[in-house]
Amino acid sequence: MDCEHIRSLFTACQDREISPPDLLAFEAHLAACPHCAREWQDFRKTLRLLQEMRPLPVPSDLLPGIHEKLGQRRGKTRLQELLQRFFPPLPTTAASLAAAALAVMVLIKTHDVSGPETSVLAPSAPIARVEPLDAQEPSLTMPVSVGQPAGDDAGFLPYAAISRPPFPFLLKREATESDLLAAWHDQVAAMGIEGPLGGPSSAPDIVVKVHHLSPEGMDWLHRRIDREGRWQTRGDSRDRFLVLVDPGELSAFYELLQRQHLPFSVHSSPVFERDARKPLLVSVRP
Amino acid sequence: MLKDEAAELVKAFRQGDAQAFNRLVALYQGKVYNLAYSYVKDQEEARDLAQDIFVTVYRSLPGLKDPAKFSSWLYQTAINHCRNRYRRLQRRGFFETQSLDDEESPLQLASGESLEKNIEEQQTASILRAELAKMPEAEKEILILRDLQGLSYEEISETLQVPLGTVKSKLNRARLALKQRLRHLL
């Protein structure tokens, strides 16, 4: 064993996770190498200092403060006040639709590394339909429309818009990123679009657009998600922030938006080398 | 065991026992408050942060699938809160105005201990916390979870959602890095 390998065993040795043969070799090396022996002593002293640090006493008003905050957040007046302040009123039709059901459109952008937009069908406007949340789970073999990014989406790759399905499907707790991907691949395959759409390099991250939201509303939503504490947030731009969401929690994230009665649409964009354990990078934009 | 007791309290809470939540807080408040403090290094902020963590726990507890996983779930929630608060405070320049002098709590003198020993311990703790604070987030977190909070490798793996082998190798690197930073103290 060389010195570097010995140092890689410090934690295993300290925490008694080392195998007997490794322990013998470890001890033999330390006996013959004063430098490593000194390092090992310093290592142990460092941990002793760290582990002997006394925990700070808990403030006596911690629990009463929790109840106070819970009481505040149970009251709806403040929430209603904030909603009124930050979210411009929706047009009557849209508002009633939002109240009855959330208008959700999932736009899934395809990733084509062989060249931009070569396999895209004729541009068409994305289709959005209102689906009652308690609707029967839609079939995942329904038609898909493909459109050319425009306006805010101009910087993105071409997308396939799944016209009907996603919200009830994604709202299910067990729906994961791989469910989303499977649905996406099925739809795209059914359309005969060519290109490297499958495989690990084409997994999407998600862009959630929250409609009718002012910059102040974005700030508010950012803080709200931050305060929820369930996911990490990144970035503090007024027109965009990021949330790291575990794939299995995607539906919970949508639920949060739904609770605030925020109409939103969901897009996906390509990301590379997605690992199933890594969180989704959800970009929230107005 | 703490975990078993927590699981029972989670079940009781779900069955409508309002006091069960208070007992959960009592079980974990020390760990959560100290975890919060190790990020924000300010008692007021740590208290506020710990309260926010428990508010989230209260509201999200009905969604916890397995009560036996409460501890890991709580730590995940707490870590997310801590990271977000830390970044927010950092953006506001909060840490630039902090001094070492106001980091530690007033002297907590246990009976039979000398004042000198206590002061020395607190100075060491201040230096340790300051050095921890300067470490990269991933190294700092794994040290906090293992060596300050006393979590097992498995609990850290669940909390940080990284494989067990990664926990072990990262922990070793983090401990070596801290040793290097504390060389002048050793």
For residue B24, which of B151, B83, B60 has the smallest C-alpha distance?
B60
CATH number assigned to the domain covering B1-98? 1.10.1740.10
Which contacts qualify for A276-281: CB closer than 8 Å, 24 or more apart?
Answer: A276/A177, A276/A178, A276/A247, A277/B161, A277/B162, A279/A231, A279/A232, A279/A244, A279/A245, A279/A246, A279/A247, A280/A177, A280/A205, A280/A206, A280/A244, A280/A245, A280/A246, A280/A247, A280/A250, A281/A205, A281/A206, A281/A242, A281/A243, A281/A244
**CB distance A204 to A184 below 8 Å:** yes
Same domain, A31 and A120: no
Query: Are residues A122 and A235 located together in one domain of the fold?
Result: yes
- Predicted complex ipTM: 0.85
pLDDT band at B144 (very low <50, low <70, confident <90, very high): very high
Q: Which of B56, B168, B176 sits opposite A228 (nearest CB)?
A: B56
Alpha-carbon gap: A135 to the closest alpha carbon of chain B (Å): 23
Q: How far is B1 from chain A (nearest CA, A)?
A: 20
- Chain A residue whose CA is closest to B122: A53
Angle subtended at Cα B69 by Cα B68 and Cα B71, rounded to the nearest 5 degrees: 110
Distance from the Cα of B9 to chain A's closest Cα (Å) equals 16
Our measurement of the distance from residue B102's CA atom to the centroid of its chain's CA atoms, rounded to an integer in Å, reads 19
The pLDDT of residue A87 is above 90:
no
Query: From the CA of A267, how many Å to the nearest CA of chain B?
Result: 25
Domain residues for the domain of A251 are 91-285
Q: Do B55 and A232 touch (CB under 8 A)?
A: no
Contact B51 A10 (CB under 8 A): no
Question: What percentage of residues in chain A have a pLDDT greater than 90?
Answer: 16
Task: Note whether residue A57 is domain-resident.
Answer: no
The boundaries of every CATH 1.10.1740.10 domain in chain B are 1-98
**In whole angstroms, what separates CA A22 from the centre of its chain?**
41
Does A136 share its domain with A268? yes
Least confident of A148-152, B41-45, B50-54: A148-152
Q: For residues B121 and A57, which has the higher predicted lDDT (pLDDT)?
A: A57
Inter-chain CB proximity B176 and A43 less than 8 Å: yes
Give per-residue pLDDT as tens, A228-281: 778 877 765 666 777 877 766 777 777 777 777 776 666 554 433 334 445 566
Indicate the number of domains in chain A.
2
Is A59 a member of any domain? no
Domain B115-181 fold: Arc Repressor Mutant, subunit A (1.10.10)
- Whether residue B29 and residue A233 make contact (CB cut-off 8 A), yes or no, is no
**Closest in A10, A43, A229 to B56, CB measured:** A229
Q: How far is B40 from chain A (nearest CA, A)?
A: 13
Give the per-residue pLDDT at A145. Answer: 31
Option in B34, B147, B179 nearest A56 (CB) = B34
The per-residue pLDDT of chain B, averaged, comes to 85
Percent of chain B with pLDDT over 90: 48
How many CB atoms neighbour CB B161 within 10 A?
13
Contact A63 B26 (CB under 8 A): yes
Q: For residue A198, which of A209, A184, A208 has the smallest C-alpha distance?
A: A184
Same-domain status, A40 and A95: no
Segment among A11-15, A61-65, A96-100, A155-159 with least mean pLDDT: A96-100
A187 and A247: one domain? yes
- Is A147 in the same domain as A240? yes
Q: Does residue A134 form part of some domain? A: yes
Residues A10 and A136 grouped into a single domain: no
CA-to-CA dists, residue B143 to A213, B53, B134, B146, angstroms: 41, 20, 13, 5
What tens digit of pLDDT does each residue of A7-38 get? Answer: 999 999 999 888 889 999 999 999 999 999 99
Q: Say if the Cβ atoms of B105 and A57 lie within 8 Å.
A: yes
Cβ neighbourhood burial of A35 (10 Å; 0-12, 13-18, 19+): exposed
- Residue A125 shares a structural domain with residue A227: yes
- B139 has a pLDDT exceeding 50: yes
Asked if A38 and A168 sit in the same domain, the reply is: no
Q: Give me the pLDDT at residue B57, please.
A: 92
Residue A22: inside a domain: yes
Give the separation between CA A104 and CA B123, rounded to whole angstroms: 57
Among A98, A103, A189, smallest CA distance to A140 is for A189
Are A112 and A254 found together in one domain?
yes
Rounded (10°) angle between helices B70-91 and B18-40: 40
- CA distance linking residue B153 with residue A56, whole number of Å: 24
Which residue on chain B is closest to A60 by alpha carbon? B47
Q: Which residue has the higher pLDDT, A269 or B92?
A: B92
Choice between A182 and B107, residue whose per-residue pLDDT is larger: A182
Q: Is residue A181 part of a domain?
A: yes
Tell me phi and psi for residue A235, to 5 degrees. 80, 150
